Structure 1
Amino acid sequence: MTETAKPRRLTPKGRATRNRIIEAATELVARHGVAGTGIDEVRAAAGVSGSQLYHYFDSKQALIRAVITRQADAALDAGEPRIGALDSFEALRAWADAAIERQLENECRGDCSLGSLAGELSTSDEESRTDIADGFLRWKALILNGLQAMRDRGELRADTDLDELSFALLTALQGGVLLSQTIRHIQPLEASMNAALAYVRSFAPGARSPGSG
């Protein structure tokens, strides 16, 4: 059965085993990339037999798609740079600071994120690209919902293009992370997030309009 087939009902033990396999695959992909991660390595790291692994994932692609889903959900979990309630300037700043802090803790090294998965898979695996795109669009929708709340409260002007702003914030995060991890320095992420937040603030009532002299 693949990840796109009708899901089977799992026992608590089965869910735990499946999660352990996904966690092992995520850690290996963070270190070696998708291409450098083999099924046998995942099996050994998860401490499962080959038949156990294939009971939950009938191919490497099915396993990687489960990793993508896990990482798309990770931003909503406690301890991650959260995007679930970005409904104030303070919340946006805290979100940016959390993303920056995470990269500092990781010494700006690569990890198994949607961005890194996109870089490796988006041009070679259409199903994975679609999953990654869906994950990004979920994040973007959550950002947009927060901005909508701000506009409804009058903290952003009525003519604010929320779709543009939500993409700007998400792009600032992903592009900043990619460049910081490439040059091993936090400055690109700090610069991109600061610029994006300043752009959002420019839509506050009474603020100077974007592009004005």
Structure 2
Amino acid sequence: MAEQVRDTGDSRLTERGRATRQRILRAADDMMRVRGVALTTLDDVRAASGTSKSQLYRHYPDKDALVRDVVALRAAEMLERQQQQLRRLNSFRGLERWRDALIERNALHNGAYGCPLGSLAGELADQDEEARQAIARHFATWEGLLAAGLARMRESGILVHNADTGKLATGLMAAVQGGYLLAQTARDVAPMKIAIDMAIAHVKRYAAAAGEQTGGE
């Protein structure tokens, strides 16, 4: 689903070489999550990953290449979780379970660090056009999963036939991202839950007259 982390053009990497590259990437991801992209240097990553300069620069000749692979890594992990949670979404209860999963995961750090993708967007959108476009594609994929679930709800008669599932999905995504930001600054996930609950309440305004069907995801 998400873009694969790039192979830096070298398909001849040994198993050891791939392990070194993965160690560098994981160290960079961890540091950028806590410090941010701007305050994470290649020397920091080299020290944290226990690699030499020659090893680091073989895999990542500059910071931009490393940052773009961090974007791809985070997107792959987040979209895999979203795919698992949303692929069978077809009810309001399913939306609430999806909300619960987001809130519970973000509560592990009391809302610190924000959305793994959104935090990168905040730093990179005006600095790195290639990264901005990649993040935009990943957000579109996530939003598409929501829209597909809402479309299933419409097709099964849970939502009215003229509900604009694309716009409703955009509203849910905006609530999620805004909620992440509020939770990050408050160090409390309560604002995030309120934001998503209000977005789900708006979706419920499009419930068909017969009400929600039982069951579903």
Give the count of matched residue pairs: 206
Is the counterpart of residue 36 in structure 1 residue 39 in structure 2? yes
Superposed CA offset, 1:66-119 (max 9, x none): 111111122234599944443332221111111111222111211571111111
Comparing 133-142 with 85-94, greater Cα deviation is found at 85-94
Whose RCO is larger (CA < 8 A, sep 6+)?
A: 2
1:194 is displaced (CA, Å) by 0.4
Contact kept, 8 Å, 1:201 with 1:207, in 2: the verdict is no
CA contact (8 A) 1:110 1:181 kept: yes
1:171 partnered with 2:174: yes
TM-aligned CA deviation for residue 198 of structure 1: 1.1
Q: Is the 8 A contact 2:114 2:183 kept in 1?
A: no
Answering whether residue 202 of structure 2 is matched by residue 199 of structure 1, we say yes
User: C-alpha displacement at 1:175, in angstroms?
Assistant: 0.6
TM-score by length of 1: 0.86
Contact 2:99 2:196 in 1 (8 A): yes
Aligned position for 1:15: 18
Aligned 8 A contact 1:169 1:197 in 2: yes
Pick from 46, 51, 62: which aligns with 2:49? 46
CA shift, 1:53, in A, is 1.8
- Report the CA distance shift for 1:140/1:52 in structure 2 as closer, same or farther (over 3 A): same
Q: 2 CA distance for matches of 1:119 and 1:155?
A: 36
- CA–CA distance in 2 between the matches of 1:100 and 1:178? 13
| Distance (whole Å) between structure 2 residues aligned to residue 81 and residue 106 of structure 1 | 22
Distance (Å, rounded) in 2 between the aligned partners of 1:159 and 1:79: 26
Percent identity reads 41
Give the one of 104, 107, 131 matched to 1:104.
107
Q: Distance in 2 between matches of 1:24 and 1:6?
A: 18
Q: Quick one: which of 145, 153, 159 aligns to 2:148? A: 145
Closer, same or farther: CA 144–16 of 1 in aligned 2, 3 Å: farther
The equivalent of 1:61 in structure 2 is 64
Alignment map for 1:85-124 (pairs within 5 Å): 85-111=88-114, 113-124=116-127
Unaligned runs of 5+ in 2: 212-217
Shift of 1:15: 3.0
